[in-house]
Amino acid sequence: MQTVDLYDIPQDLIVKVEKLSNLGFGIAKFNGYVIFIENACPGDELKIKIIKKNKNFANAEIVEIITPSKYRTKPLCPMQKVCGSCQIQFIDYQYQLNLKKDIVADTMKNIYGYDIEVRDVVPSPKEWGYRHKIQYPISEAKNSKRIIAGYYKPATHELVNIKYCPIQPEYCDKIIDFIRIKVQEIGLSGYNEKKHSGVLRHVVIRTSEYSLKSLVVLVINDSFANEKIMSLAKKIYSELENISGVCVNYNSKKTNLILGEKTELIVGESFVEEKLCDKVFKIGAKTFFQVNPSSANNIFNYVKNYIKTKFDKPTILDAYAGIATFGICLSDVANKITSVEQVRESIDYAKRIIEENGIKNIDLYCEDAARFFEKELNNNSPKYDIAVIDPPRKGCSRESIDYLLKLTKKMIIYVSCNPATLARDLKIFKENGCKIDFVQPFDMFPHTYHIENVVFISL
């Protein structure tokens, strides 16, 4: 309960950090008033300075760490504080898992509003080098015109030139370094976001944990690949080792979206291969694939074992399917699977992977999920024993949930990377008579505030 007028809060305070917020800020309180502090760890005693007062909370920065939390560690990355990617790299990894469990439980309590069992977080098999997809914006330094590639400072569009990133496979640093040098040598321009000028705007790299090969995608602010781009692509392929192929993606729109509509293969192959659940997957430039393959493997195997022990060869709907990863992993324990995904490239890859793995019991549909569910409801009787749904961060639409409730007989398994939208949607399932069995979190993103959850919903 807030008991203080916000104007009474002194600018400088000494506080004890109580918790971690869902966005990775330390939470302290002053007479009940909530203060979010960047780079703060629960257990820290801090001298802080308020930098912004809002109606119900304030933001603060650390002036001095008076007594550090026993869970503070030295981050591996020297850029941790300036780069926006790893908000909690300075916290001991085991403790990060406890904090993430608390975040999920608190979110459920606040938004879902009913009691719910949240299990211990399954750690990522790899604490470092786990992130197998990287997307570096490319630009030029203001005065020197030196090519810079990296991540944006938190809440800004100020690019930090990153030479070393411990959460990515080491080889990605080498690829990016090579590209920085060659772009400069060739005389290719980096993108200027404000002026919407310059050619090379992003480099996307997908590295396989299985084959150790990398697919490089050069995203350009143009509608054709000029000689300089072609030369860069060929140099990457011929002078670096373990490059499966180099593609160019055309994105000349003034947009925050990284990839444009069209991708063209310049040299090599247009995909890398990854292995999950003993099946080999092909991943292209635009296909969705979990960034942490070994942690994703834990999720797929967990869901597979759960279904195997509780159901006898069920019919399964795999919605928001990507390259039908769930469908393919579950094909051994299902009678029939229907996978639905709206991105054409993903469905094309899924088709190829299904054929190559000799799988016979999956039907693929390239369609918006809600429209597909609507059509499936024609005969108005539930068709699927189980629905596995893995929507994007915004969660499911109300319309989709209503259809899913009518289409599914026994269980909905909801996979989510956003606890807030998950809790919102679970509330709707609960209010429609479903039983939320439990939430199983998996850490796919060590050192960041992100957390993946799998929820088992009985109908």
Ligand X SMILES: C[S@@+](CC[C@H](N)C(=O)[O-])C[C@H]1O[C@@H](n2cnc3c(N)ncnc32)[C@H](O)[C@@H]1O
- DSSP alpha helix (H) spans, 311-389: 325-330, 344-356, 369-376
Kindly compute the dihedral angle of the four CA atoms of residues 48, 50, 51, 56, in this order, to the nearest 10 degrees.
130
Among residues 99 and 415, whose Cβ is nearest to ligand X?
415
Among residues 91 and 276, whose Cβ is nearest to ligand X?
276
Is 77 one of the catalytic residues? no
Provide φ and ψ at 330, rounded to 5°. -95, 0
Least spacing, CB of residue 282 vs ligand X, in Å = 13
Residue whose C-alpha is closest to residue 86's, from 456, 448, 449, 450: 448
Instruction: Give the tokens for residue 297.
Output: 């493997």
C-beta neighbour count of 304 within 10 angstroms: 18
Beta bridge partners of 250: 220, 262
- Write down the catalytic residue from 77, 247, 329, 417: 417
Name the helix (H) or strand (E) containing 19.
strand 19-20
Beta strands 279-284 and 271-276: pairing type?
Answer: antiparallel
Separation between Cα atoms, residue 218 and residue 226, nearest integer Å: 12
Rounded to the nearest angstrom, the gap between the alpha carbon of residue 280 and the centroid of all alpha carbons in its chain is 21
Contacts to ligand X by CB under 6 A = 288-290, 320-322, 325-326, 340-343, 346, 368-369, 390-392
Residue whose C-alpha is closest to residue 199's, from 178, 220, 180: 220
Least spacing, CB of residue 177 vs ligand X, in Å = 30
Among residues 389 and 434, whose Cβ is nearest to ligand X?
389
| HSE value, Cβ hemisphere, 13 Å, CA-based, for 51 | 10
Among residues 140 and 443, whose Cβ is nearest to ligand X?
443
Instruction: Give the tokens for residue 127.
Output: 């604490």
Among residues 326 and 445, whose Cβ is nearest to ligand X?
326
- Residue in the shown chain whose Cβ atom is closest to ligand X: 322
Least spacing, CB of residue 323 vs ligand X, in Å = 6
Least spacing, CB of residue 429 vs ligand X, in Å = 18
Beta bridge partners of 389: 319, 414
Least spacing, CB of residue 320 vs ligand X, in Å = 3
Least spacing, CB of residue 354 vs ligand X, in Å = 14
Residue ranges of E strands in 221-319: 243-250, 262-268, 271-276, 279-284, 315-319
Least spacing, CB of residue 1 vs ligand X, in Å = 38
Separation between Cα atoms, residue 240 and residue 247, nearest integer Å: 15
- Report the amino acid identity of residue 453: N
Among residues 271 and 288, whose Cβ is nearest to ligand X?
288
**What's the angle, vertex CA 206, arms to CA 346 and CA 413, rounded to 5?**
50
- CA distances (Å), 60 to each of 12, 31, 37, 80, in order? 9, 16, 5, 18
Least spacing, CB of residue 199 vs ligand X, in Å = 28
Among residues 341 and 385, whose Cβ is nearest to ligand X?
341
User: Residue 124 carries which DSSP code?
Assistant: P
Among residues 320 and 414, whose Cβ is nearest to ligand X?
320
Separation between Cα atoms, residue 96 and residue 125, nearest integer Å: 14
What length does the chain have?
Answer: 459
User: DSSP states of 261-288 as a string?
Assistant: SEEEEEEE-SEEEEEETTEEEEEESS--
User: Which residues belong to the active site?
Assistant: 417
